Each structure stands twice: as C-alpha cells, then as structure tokens.
Amino acid sequence: MANTAHAHAADPAGETRRDFLLHTTIAMGAVGGAMMVWPLIHSMNPAADTLALSTTEFNISGVAEGQRISVMWRGSPVFVAHRTPAEIEAARKVQLSELRDPQTDEQRVTKGKDKYLIVSGICTHFGCIPQGVKVTEPRGEFGGWFCPCHGSQYDTSGRIRKGPAPRNLAVPPIKFLTDTTVLIG
C-alpha cells in the first residue's frame, strides 16, 4: 500500500488552518496568563488605608516657643519642637568633630523655618521612643531627647551626643504648605 498523506489546503498567503489555530492558542494563552498574574501584582499595591497614612498634615500655629509636640505619621511618633533662639544657637555652636553622625543644624531644618525642628520619634538604637516632649520628662545633658531604654541622649537638633545610638533622629520628608501648615510624607 502506498502512503497517501493528504496535503492541507493552503490559502493564497501560504498559511494553513493549523497555523491559524496555533496563533490563536498562543494569543489566548497570553491573555489568560496576564489575567492570572494581574491580581497577584495588584495585591502587592498598598491598601487605601495605608496610603491614607502615608502623609500627615498638621498646624504648628498653636505650638508656643520652647514647646514640643508629638504627631503620628505612619503609626510612629514624630517630634515637633518650636525651638528658642538659645536652643538654635546651642545647636549651631556644636563642632562636627564632636558628633558621631555629623550633620549641621542647618541640614536638619527647613530653610527659613529653622525655629521648627521636626524629627522621627524613634531612637536609632533599638527603636524605643525617647522622652523630652513634655516639660516634665528628662531631656538629657544636651537639652534634646533622652531614650530611657539604653541612655542615648540627643541634642536640640536631634543629633546623637551620648549613648549607644548609632545615628541621629531621622528627619522625615516635610513640606511647609503655608506658614503654619506642615505636610509630612
């Protein structure tokens, strides 16, 4: 018996029905794969409640000179200090060679708003919350903040001066929207 393979009928462009089915299957597989991967990628986006916490807006008009307040940003405290001229002068007199994490006071405040210092309220040693916001709390030898967990002391610019903390209190991203309204984040 002779082998009688039937030739597939080809269209004028030279493509067969089998080619059409192959291309259609590949296209449907790609669309199906994208539809399966999209929910996975979308689930990695932050939730709406998390995005709402990504910025905090507050008014500093009620913060008197020499007073400190604490506001919450991303579930953590942020210290806002309305510094006195004496505190600003003391912070600027410090030699960078005396600092473990050298930063000038000018690098830690917003230009033109240097009487307001805004720093993270988390100690850089083990994440405790330093004291020094309330007048009755200890502020350490340098008049800034004192971490009761291991004795780290920060100056009036939030720079580490004594104790085991390796870095200064972090300065969060801030923007003055008006003279009295601040946006963190």
Catalytic residues: 150
How would you classify the pairing of strands 153-155 and 160-162?
Answer: antiparallel
**Distance from C-alpha of 160 to C-alpha of 156, rounded to nearest angstrom:** 10
Instruction: Give the length of the chain.
Output: 185
Contacts of 28 (CB under 8 A, 6+ apart): none
Q: For residues 97 and 77, what is the distance between their CA atoms, to the nearest angstrom?
A: 29
Phi, psi of 128, rounded to the nearest 5 degrees: -75, 170
Contact 157, 91 (CB under 8 A): yes
Residue 133 corresponds to which tokens in the numbers above? 């916001």
Please name every residue paired with 155 in a beta bridge, in sequence order, or none if there are none: 143
